[in-house]
Amino acid sequence: MDLYDVMRSTAAVREFTGDPLPDEILHRILDHARFAPSGGNRQGTHVIVVRDRGTRERLAELNAPAVRRYVAQIKAGQSPWNPLEPPRPGPDEIAATEVPEHFTGPVLTAAAVLVVCVDLGVVAALDQHLDRVGVVSGASVYPLVWNVLLAARNEGFGGTITTMAVAEEPAVRELLGIPEQYAVAAVLPLGRPVKQLTKLRRRPVEEFVTRERFDGAAF
Ligand SMILES: Cc1cc2nc3c(=O)[nH]c(=O)nc-3n(C[C@H](O)[C@H](O)[C@H](O)COP(=O)(O)O)c2cc1C
């Protein structure tokens, strides 16, 4: 596919046909994705390819606590899991919130699930002394994650960046034998999409790009 077509049509895919994703194609996807950048080119990522049913079932379960808070906060009109504002729903309300299937189903129905980790011992976290949540470390792993999804799209496959299981990172670490020094960055269910969206809802350039200053003229 043309690069720009891939970029404009790599949607979040959560429904899969059940077709296999053979190791050979997955290897090709990863072999192209690996050219993603990382801070200082330290390449601290580790990807675990999960196909085992029992492991996926546990990963699906580990999504549930974070999804409950996510859904409860959306119902309460909040931006879910936002660090600037504590959740308005209380623990009982969160615990009683149902978990929609589309948050747990994809890891069970995908042809393969990738768990992407990053070695915190090599990331360059330039924002570590700032009084806010860290974002720069993520830049040493999410370019690779996104490259995987772009390459998957190019091969006729798809998936979604999911992060709900990260809230239960100690349990994910234990499940998969991930060393203490590694953070779990994303869980990617991958497979053949049931349907391929080609028109994604994204803000136009003029809405989020300005000239010279944040409050400058729209670009
Ligand atoms: C950092 C990040 C975390 C995400 N976490 C989840 C998740 O845990 N579960 C999920 O179903 N989708 C998750 N998504 C997918 C987004 O909801 C999706 O990319 C967005 O809504 C755009 O969807 P579209 O490409 O279909 O328009 C995540 C996406 C990003 C970038």
| Tens digits of residue pLDDT in 163-189 | 999 999 999 999 999 999 999 999 999
Query: Do residues 150 and 6 touch, judged by C-beta distance below 8 A?
Result: yes
Residue 37, in any domain of the structure: yes
Residue 6 has pLDDT above 90, yes or no: yes
**pTM for this predicted structure:** 0.97
């070695």: which residue's tokens?
119
Tell me: the pLDDT tens digits for 121-172?
999 999 999 999 999 999 999 999 999 999 999 999 999 999 999 999 999 9
* 132 in any annotated domain: yes
In a domain, 136, yes or no: yes
What is the rounded average pLDDT for all residues in the chain? 97
Half-sphere exposure of 152 (CA within 13 A, CB side): 32
Question: From the alpha carbon of 200, which atom of ligand 1 is closest?
Answer: 27
Can you tell me the distance from the alpha carbon of 138 to that of 150, in angstroms, rounded to the nearest whole number?
Answer: 18
Place of tokens 């919130």: 97
Residue 9 maps to a domain: yes
Atom of ligand 1 nearest to the CA of 63: 8
In a domain, 148, yes or no: yes
pLDDT value at residue 165: 98
Question: How many whole angstroms separate alpha carbon 184 and alpha carbon 44?
Answer: 12
Tell me how far CA of residue 70 lies from CA of 5, 64, 95, in angstroms: 32, 10, 11
User: Which pLDDT tens digit goes with each residue over 198-210?
Assistant: 889 999 999 999 9
Residue 7 lies in a domain: yes
Ligand 1 within 6 A of CB of 161: yes
- 121 is in which domain, residue-wise? 3-208
* Nearest residue (CA) to ligand 1, atom 19: 12
pLDDT of residue 197: 86
Pocket flag, ligand 1, residue 103 (CB < 6 Å)? yes
Q: What is the pLDDT of residues 49-87, one digit of tens each?
A: 999 999 999 999 999 999 999 999 999 999 999 999 999
Query: Residues 2, 136, 178, 187: is their CA dihedral positive or negative?
Result: negative
SS3 132: coil
Task: Compute the distance from residue 212 Cα to the ligand 1 centre, in Å.
Answer: 30
3-state class (DSSP) for residue 202 = coil
CATH number (domain holding residue 73): 3.40.109.10
The answer to whether the CB of 166 is under 6 A from ligand 1 is: no
Can you give the pLDDT at residue 12?
Answer: 97
Tell me, yes or no, whether 215 lies in a domain: no
Task: Report yes or no on 217 lying in a domain.
Answer: no
Q: How many A from CA of 159 to the centre of ligand 1?
A: 10
Centre of ligand 1 to C-alpha 202, Å, is 13
How far is it, in rounded angstroms, from Cα 51 to Cα 88?
37
Ligand 1 neighbourhood includes 184 CB (under 6 angstroms): no
Question: Domains in the chain: how many in total?
Answer: 1
Mean of pLDDT values over 102-124: 97
